[in-house]
């Protein structure tokens, strides 16, 4: 029987409670089907800083390097947000992990559910049938560019946005390959009318796309894209974009689904001849809800499904997706989706488990 070693990093806020639900569901699959998981927990983020002083302890990194995949919860703690002068911050843990594992492609599917059409603040005609994927570059751009920091007198601050050809090509490959499996359209989102990095993106992608003649390629400025995502989201198949634009646009896109709690993501890359994968909901740590058992575990559950696909267990991933679909169709909803009549985070997951076939 196949055994997968899964590093589980619950992190902060609602991270632990949503991740617990996914682990429960994966254990249930292991009971029913020929598959085995060895789960090992690691500290990251504020939880790690409080215990070890570091947002990404060496032990956690070691655990992640030796795992077949990583299931990640959430990161961030308001205690650290209050003081902008702090040098050690929870988010550094996730950023350092992405960099250390070379997770350069972040894949964020945006799909709306018929049972939730009414929950979106947008009109049903706009959100019905939306199904696109954002491929966000994850280890470059302004998140990591050097130099960054303060001038000597501290009165000026600067960040650097930088991209190399190689960084653009490898993430473009992920997007174009994905488009081939889907509706064969790639929209590159940039700000080429202003930024030098965006112009390099265009140059590299125009060359690169010559090998993908069957894929429709278009370029769109990020300001326009922000508008198009809510005006006519059905026009998109695969959106390819740089790190920060992808961060912003995916939070925006989550509104289409009715809740930020619904979206999953896969962060993929290669290191030392091994393909690496980290799977996490796109929502944050939602500290106001932490420990209350009210969070929506769907983003985490769907991330677990993405993880199974990555491990080559697509049939099992589909079982999770179908069970979640059915749960939503039955009207089971967490508080973010149905304020009047809601199931708790753990009740919702129990329902999903009951719907597993
Ligand atoms: C995300 C998050 C992170 C990011 C933060 C927590 C560093 O917003 O994964 O979208 O900006 O990448
Ligand atoms: Mg974000």
Q: Is 84 a residue whose pLDDT tops 90?
A: no
Question: How many whole angstroms from 178 Cα to the centroid of ligand 1?
Answer: 22
pLDDT category, 317, cuts 50, 70, 90? very high
pLDDT more than 70, % of the chain: 100
Task: Give the pLDDT score at 83.
Answer: 87
The three-state secondary structure class of 343 is: coil
Q: Read out DSSP for 44-68?
A: -THHHHHHHS-SS-HHHHHHHHHSS
Cis omega (within 30 of 0) on the bond before 147?
Answer: yes
Q: What is the CATH number of the domain that holds 144?
A: 3.40.718.10
Count of Cβ atoms closer than 10 Å to residue 112 Cβ: 23
Tokens found for residue 1:
């029987």
Q: What is the pLDDT of residue 94?
A: 97
* Nearest ligand for residue 55 CA: 1
Q: Supply the residue whose CA is at minimum distance from atom 10 of ligand 1.
A: 247
Residue found under tokens 């149905």: 338
Tell me the two tokens of residue 85: 């002068």
Which entry of 159, 216, 251, 325 is annotated as an active-site residue?
Answer: 251
Candidates 173, 184, 191, 326; catalytic one = 191
CA of 284 to the centre of ligand 2 (A): 7
Same domain, 180 and 74: no
Same domain, yes or no: 132 and 73: no
For 224, the domain range is 121-257
Which residue owns the Cα nearest ligand 1 atom 7?
Answer: 91
pLDDT at 106 over 90: yes
Does 209 fall in a domain?
A: yes
Of 55, 94, 254, which is best to mutate to test ligand 1, by the most ligand atoms within 8 angstroms of its C-beta? 94
Any domain includes 116? no
Contact between 301 and 324 (Cβ < 8 Å): yes
Of 240, 257, 274, at which residue does a domain stop? Answer: 257
**What pLDDT is attached to residue 1?**
82
Same domain, 250 and 133: yes
Averaged pLDDT for residues 68-95:
95
Q: Are 320 and 307 in contact (CB under 8 A)?
A: no
- Looking at the structure, do residues 305 and 341 belong to the same domain, yes or no? yes
- From atom 4 of ligand 1, which residue's Cα is the shortest distance away? 247
Ion ligand 2, residues whose Cβ is below 5 A away? 247
- Same domain membership, residue 345 and residue 321: yes
Lowest mean pLDDT across 103-107, 141-145, 259-263: 259-263
Residue 246 has φ and ψ, to the nearest 5°, of -65, -40
Q: Which atom of ligand 1 is nearest to the CA of 91?
A: 7
Q: Which residues, at least 6 apart from 266, have a Cβ–Cβ distance to it below 8 Å?
A: 106, 107, 277, 278, 279, 303, 306, 307, 309, 310
> Can you tell me whether residue 174 is helix, strand or coil?
helix
Angle among Cα 311, 312, 318 to the nearest 5 degrees reads 100
In a shared domain, residues 241 and 272: no
Residues touching ligand 1 (Cβ under 6 Å) are: 75-76, 91, 94-95, 247, 282
- The answer to whether residues 169 and 41 belong to one domain is no
Residues 244 and 287 in one domain: no
Burial of residue 281, with CB atoms counted within 10 A of its CB: 0-12 exposed, 13-18 middle, 19 or more buried: buried
143 is catalytic: yes
Ligand minimally distant from the alpha carbon of residue 106: 1
pLDDT tens track for 168-222: 999 999 999 999 999 999 999 999 999 999 999 999 999 999 999 999 999 999 9
Dmax (CA) for the chain in angstroms is 63
Tokens of 273: 């001849």
Residues 250 and 129 in one domain: yes
Contact 45, 75 (CB under 8 A): yes
Cβ count within 10 A of residue 70: 25
Q: How many domains does the chain have?
A: 2
Same domain, 27 and 62: yes
Same domain, 146 and 243: yes
The domain boundary residue, chosen from 226, 257, 288: 257
The DSSP output letter for 292 is T
Closest C-alpha residue for ligand 1 atom 9: 282
In a domain, 216, yes or no: yes
Domain boundary among 237, 257, 277: 257
Q: How far is CA 31 from the centre of its chain?
A: 27
Residue 115 lies in a domain: no
**What DSSP element (H or E) covers 221?**
strand 216-221
Active site residue 221: no
**What interhelical angle do 345-354 and 314-329 show, nearest 10?**
120
* Ligand 1 atom showing the smallest separation from residue 138 Cα: 12
CB atoms within 10 A of CB 38: 11
Does the annotation count 191 as an active-site position? yes
Residue 57 domain-assigned? yes
pLDDT-based confidence at residue 39 (cuts at 50, 70, 90): very high
pLDDT value of position 62: 98
**Mutate which of 74, 92, 95, 280 for ligand 1 pocket (most atoms within 8 A of beta carbon):** 95
Domain for residue 64, yes or no?
yes
Nearest CA to ligand 1 atom 12: 247
Ligand 1 nearest atom to the CA of residue 74, by list position = 6
CA of 125 to the centre of ligand 1 (A): 30
Q: Residue 161's CB: how many other CB atoms inside 10 A?
A: 18
Residue that the structure tokens 């930024």 belong to = 195
Q: What is the pLDDT of residues 124-158, one digit of tens each?
A: 999 999 999 999 999 999 999 999 999 999 999 99
Residue 200 included in any domain:
yes
Establish if 110 belongs to a structural domain: no
Average the pLDDT over 89-114 and give the result.
97
Q: Residues 162, 129: one domain?
A: yes
Q: Kindly report, residue by residue over 158-169, the tens digit of the pLDDT.
A: 999 999 999 999
pLDDT, averaged across the chain: 97
**Is pLDDT of 19 > 90?**
yes
Does 223 participate in catalysis according to the annotation?
yes
């Amino acid at each position: 029987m196949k055994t997968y070693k899964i590093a589980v990093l619950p992190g902060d806020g609602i991270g632990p409670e949503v991740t617990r639900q996914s682990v429960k569901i994966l254990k249930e699959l292991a009971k029913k089907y020929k598959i085995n998981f060895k789960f090992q927990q690691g500290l990251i983020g504020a939880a790690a800083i409080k215990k070890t002083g570091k947002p990404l302890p060496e032990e956690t990194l070691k655990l992640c390097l030796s795992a077949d995949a990583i299931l990640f919860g959430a990161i961030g703690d308001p205690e650290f947000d209050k003081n902008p002068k702090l040098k050690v911050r929870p988010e550094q843990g996730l950023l350092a992990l992405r960099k250390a594992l070379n997770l350069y492609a972040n894949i964020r599917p945006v799909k709306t559910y018929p049972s939730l059409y009414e929950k979106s603040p947008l009109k049903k005609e706009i959100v019905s049938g939306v199904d696109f994927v954002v491929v966000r570059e994850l280890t470059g751009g302004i998140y990591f560019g050097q130099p960054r920091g303060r001038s000597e007198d501290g009165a000026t601050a600067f960040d650097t946005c930088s991209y190399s050809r190689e960084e653009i090509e490898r993430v473009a490959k992920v997007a174009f390959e994905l488009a081939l499996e889907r509706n064969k359209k790639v929209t590159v989102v940039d700000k080429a009318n202003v930024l030098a990095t965006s112009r390099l993106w265009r140059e590299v992608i125009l060359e690169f796309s010559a090998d993908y003649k069957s894929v429709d390629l278009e370029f769109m400025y990020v300001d326009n894209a922000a508008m198009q995502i809510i005006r006519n989201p059905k026009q998109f198949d695969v959106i390819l974009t740089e790190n920060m634009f992808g961060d912003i646009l995916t939070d925006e896109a989550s509104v289409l689904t009715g809740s930020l709690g619904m979206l999953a993501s896969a962060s993929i890359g290669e290191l030392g001849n091994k393909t690496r994968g980290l799977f996490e909901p796109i929502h944050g740590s939602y500290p106001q809800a932490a420990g209350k058992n009210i969070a929506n575990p769907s983003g985490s559950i769907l991330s677990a499904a993405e993880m199974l696909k990555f491990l080559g267990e697509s049939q099992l991933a589909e079982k999770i997706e179908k069970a979640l679909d059915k749960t939503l169709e039955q009207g089971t909803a967490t508080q973010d989706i149905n304020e009047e009549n809601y199931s708790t985070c753990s009740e919702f997951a129990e329902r999903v488990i009951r719907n597993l076939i």
